[in-house]
Amino acid sequence: MAIVRKVLIDDFDKIYPLLRNFNNTSLKKEGWKRLFVSHWESDAGHCGYVLVDGEKIVGYLGMLFSVKVVRGQHHKFCNISSWIVEKKYRNESFSLLLQLLKLKEYTVTNFTPDKTTYVASKKLGFKDFETHFRILIPFPTLKALRADCSIVDGKGMVKQFLKDNYRQIYNDHLFFDCLHLWIKTRTGGFYMILTKVLKKGIPAAQIHFISDLNYFKENVTSLTIKLCVKLKVLIVMIDERYLKGVSMLFSTRMKLPQPRIFKSESLKGEDIDSLYSELVVLNI
């Protein structure tokens, strides 16, 4: 019978053969190693759990811990980056997920569950917080081309616009493949964090954070065009909860393979963005 224990940094080489089973060709060995580092302030003291039979690691549940300010309060987060178990030990795989029930002080998230993980997590009380994303398509209308909206990039340039809480977010994501942008508008400005990804071979910009949704929605048509030109992408992607039901011209609504899920005693789904998650750490 296999036993469950916390992941050690030295476990990576033993876990890597399991991770290769995800068949994500965009992720190399060095990329997967990012899951085995404590990137952000946390008192958790580990980065997940493994299922061990003798000396062999036969299962892995990856966790990314962080502390974030939400609505002026500090909250502990645990993001589930991956859950995989060798076929022979699938009957014992639920013992890994049971570790999540111990995290009562944490908001636990999973942005990329497969069908098995989704079904198992729902049995543990997880809830859906996102089912769709929206693809924003650059369409050069006369109004969009005339809009007074400009992009400030360059890490030093962006940082000067940021207040304390946003500076912490900026610093926490400085060493990942994130694009930090300040968007200047006629009446103000806002902070955005994106990553460049390939979706079915199409170069795309994926939005992870927006500091002011109202400014974003007022300028979205013009901004989509400017982002695509500046970042050399064809589309911009955003989870639909950010839009709060507002319809968008020149966009397509797409269903996620499985809903994004969370478990929390203190926060709602609308409070969750995809920073401090596997989407950013692995750039997927």
Domain 3-129+276-281 classification at class level: alpha beta
Residues 155 and 174 sit within 8 Å (Cβ to Cβ): yes
What are the pLDDT digits (tens) for 142-156? 665 566 778 898 777
Parse the chain into domains and list their residue ranges.
3-129+276-281, 138-249
Residues 53 and 89 sit within 8 Å (Cβ to Cβ): yes
According to DSSP, the residues that pair with 151 across neighbouring strands are 183
Strand order through the sheet with 202-210: 3-6, 48-53, 56-70, 73-85, 106-110, 251-263, 127-136, 235-239, 202-210, 189-199, 179-185, 149-152
Residues 211 and 191 sit within 8 Å (Cβ to Cβ): yes
What's residue 193's pLDDT?
Answer: 95
How would you classify the pairing of strands 149-152 and 251-263?
A: unpaired
Q: What mean pLDDT comes out for the span 133-149?
A: 76
Matching residue, tokens 């997590």:
121
Q: DSSP labels for 96-107? A: HHGGGGG-TTEE
Q: What is the pTM of this model?
A: 0.88
What are the pLDDT digits (tens) for 27-60? 788 888 888 877 887 777 788 999 988 888 989 9
